[in-house]
Structure 1
Amino acid sequence: MHSMWQLLSPTALLLLVSAGTHADPPKSVVILDPPWDRLLEKDSVTLKCQGAYPPGDDSTEWRWNGTLISNKASSYSITDATVGNSGEYTCKTGLSAQSDPLRLEVYKGWLLLQAPRWVVQEGESIRLRCHTWKNITIQKVQYFQNGMGKKFSHQNFEYHIPNATLKDGGSYFCRGIIKNYNLSSEAVKVTVQGSKSPSPILSFFLPWHQIIFCLVMGFLFAVDTGLYFSVRKVLRSSKEDWRNGKVTWSRDPQDKGG
């Protein structure tokens, strides 16, 4: 039993190291500056790639709708955006995996509702911005949720909800006066998700599931190894006894012949 545990420890460690070695690298992340994923024509935005880079090498692979972009810098700038700039953007650094796609939409029009995030958790903030083409002055701005007025301002102030609840989710749009025209943006859905706190017991044990698996595999490997050497030892001993003439034969007491 003692030798079995001696075999178990290095085997389990080897499996743990192997599992960590073959883990997938973390994904790169595309960040927007400013943080709006909905733009009007003539707007500008910079896409930044966050990830791990090799020492002295910050070259980045950018893709637009799956097509490789010639830009190799860690950031990609779009100035005077057009509808043609709409699409999914991904990036990849030298030591990180390809990012999840970030969807950028560019619209024609005078007024647009913007937000850094359209899906938030309960307790997080909701930030809405009534944006105009080329930042033209807008007056008497009003925000609506599910058709009901929520905030009114004489200037283009943002609408901010510091601690969102489920009732803050819904369809939002803004309205205001631009050059004596009363204009409205398109409605956009804001989703507030309920908090799902994991069980404390599950949170404690969850990180150990891979370790337990590796220990079990190591134990089975040790048992298999022990059985292998035990059988091998018995067979070798029997073979040596045969060669040395140590095999004895017993005679049946009733056999009196010869």
Structure 2
Amino acid sequence: MKLGCFSPPVLWAAQVLLAASSETLQCEGPVSTWDSGCRPGDDLGSREVDYQARGYTFSRPIRLVVSYDWLVLQGPAAPIFEGDPLVLRCQAWRGWPLAQVTFYRDGSALGAPGPDREFSIAVVREADSGHYHCSAIFRSPGPGRPETASSVAVTVQELFPAPVLRATPSPEPQEGSAVTLSCQTKLPPQRSAIRLLFSFYKGGRAVRGRGLSPELQVPAAAEAHSGSYWCEAATEDNHVWKRSRRLEIRVQGPSSSGAPPTLNPAPPKSAAPGMPAAEPPRPLPPPPSPSSGGPAPPSPLQASDPHLHHRMGLLLRQMQDVRVLLGHLVMELRDLSGHLKLDTRKGTAK
């Protein structure tokens, strides 16, 4: 087993090793020093955290399993996140040749049997999580029968959650005020060096293309800025990208800042000594005369007192009935007057 180290370190290795096989542990870091070294867990202590001792920086410990099975599936030792590549290796005892290698996820075959000992996914998603294993047939000098490796759990972690679009100070700003739209998300500590690009959209149109700033500044909000906004966060290689939910922005006009003023009349002021008293309120106009041809619309006073309005309606109808009777009387008087004139003329003629 070869050890090659660089400091400050990150230790990588396969999860499962076959006995009598040769594997490499690599300790990677940006700085190389002559006194760096990979050490067994007994020298590092029992804590599963990064720490410094005597000027050295140590990596997180990894769990290394040595198997005596005929066939093992080697999976990744480091955490796997969305967008990472995934490589699984089906390894045989002492490197004996294999035939009809098949890889499985959660019991389902991922392809037809073949000679390839590796199964890879260029860009993994959370849906690729599961229990993987492989099966193969040993060629001579192996047992010459099918063998199946134990399953390995692979969990693809979320690289960053879907962003949340927020408006500061409010999604209902006043016209002319400044508004800031923030596309908020967070990377895990293991991937904090990744750069995300942010873009902003209004409806189906891009407001700002991809950029490093997660904020969009609106110096002076106008009515045209009202609408439905959403943002997108993506990695530079565009392997992982996620959108936020829509946020409604409603710019408030000057008159919508408060309730309309109420028109409350000021109380009457008492007259000063020596000044004439205020003019008393004028009486209400009299009701319309019966000769108007029909009932007039009720006045505010009538509408405020339904009983009074009903009585006035009855009175108007009675006056109309009287008017009809008077008309009949006038017609009868005219007839009587005509008969009297006719009798008078006849008497004169005789």
Query: Is residue 100 of structure 1 aligned with residue 64 of structure 2?
Result: no
State the match for 1:241 in structure 2. none
Q: Any residues of structure 2 matched to 1:1-258 within 5 Å, and which? A: 28-32=9-13, 36-51=14-29, 58-67=34-43, 96-117=56-77, 119-178=79-138, 179=142, 180-197=144-161
One-letter amino acid of the structure 1 residue matched with residue 9 of structure 2: S
- The Cα shift of 1:97 comes to 1.7
Q: Give the Cα separation in 1 of the matches to 2:75 and 2:154.
A: 9
The alpha-carbon distance between structure 1 residues 48 and 120, as it changes in their structure 2 partners (threshold 3 A), is closer
Q: Give the Cα separation in 2 of the matches to 1:201 and 1:150.
A: 38
Percent identical pairs in the alignment equals: 27
What are the superposed Cα offsets for residues 160-182 of structure 1, whole Å, 9 maximum, x if unpaired? 11122222110110001114211
Give TM-score scaled by structure 1 length.
Answer: 0.51
What are the superposed Cα offsets for residues 100-141 of structure 1, whole Å, 9 maximum, x if unpaired? 112211110110101234642222222111111111011111
Aligned-CA RMSD value: 3.3
The alpha-carbon distance between structure 1 residues 62 and 136, as it changes in their structure 2 partners (threshold 3 A), is same
- The Cα shift of 1:67 comes to 3.0
The alpha-carbon distance between structure 1 residues 47 and 62, as it changes in their structure 2 partners (threshold 3 A), is same
Q: Give the Cα separation in 1 of the matches to 2:100 and 2:11.
A: 35
- The Cα shift of 1:95 comes to 5.2
One-letter amino acid of the structure 1 residue matched with residue 23 of structure 2: V
Q: Tell me, what secondary structure is at the counterpart of 2:35? A: coil
Q: Tell me, what secondary structure is at the counterpart of 1:99? A: coil
List alignment gaps of at least 5 residues for structure 1: 1-25, 69-87, 205-258
List alignment gaps of at least 5 residues for structure 2: 1-6, 165-181, 187-350
Give TM-score scaled by structure 2 length.
Answer: 0.38
Task: Give the paired residue count.
Answer: 154
The alpha-carbon distance between structure 1 residues 93 and 162, as it changes in their structure 2 partners (threshold 3 A), is farther
Name the larger-Rg structure. 2
Moved over 6 A (4+): 90-94
- The Cα shift of 1:43 comes to 1.1
What are the superposed Cα offsets for residues 189-221 of structure 1, whole Å, 9 maximum, x if unpaired? 0111223156666679xxxxxxxxxxxxxxxxx
The alpha-carbon distance between structure 1 residues 95 and 203, as it changes in their structure 2 partners (threshold 3 A), is farther
- The Cα shift of 1:152 comes to 2.5
Q: Tell me, what secondary structure is at the counterpart of 2:133? A: strand
> 1 or 2, which has the higher helix percentage?
1
One-letter amino acid of the structure 1 residue matched with residue 41 of structure 2: N
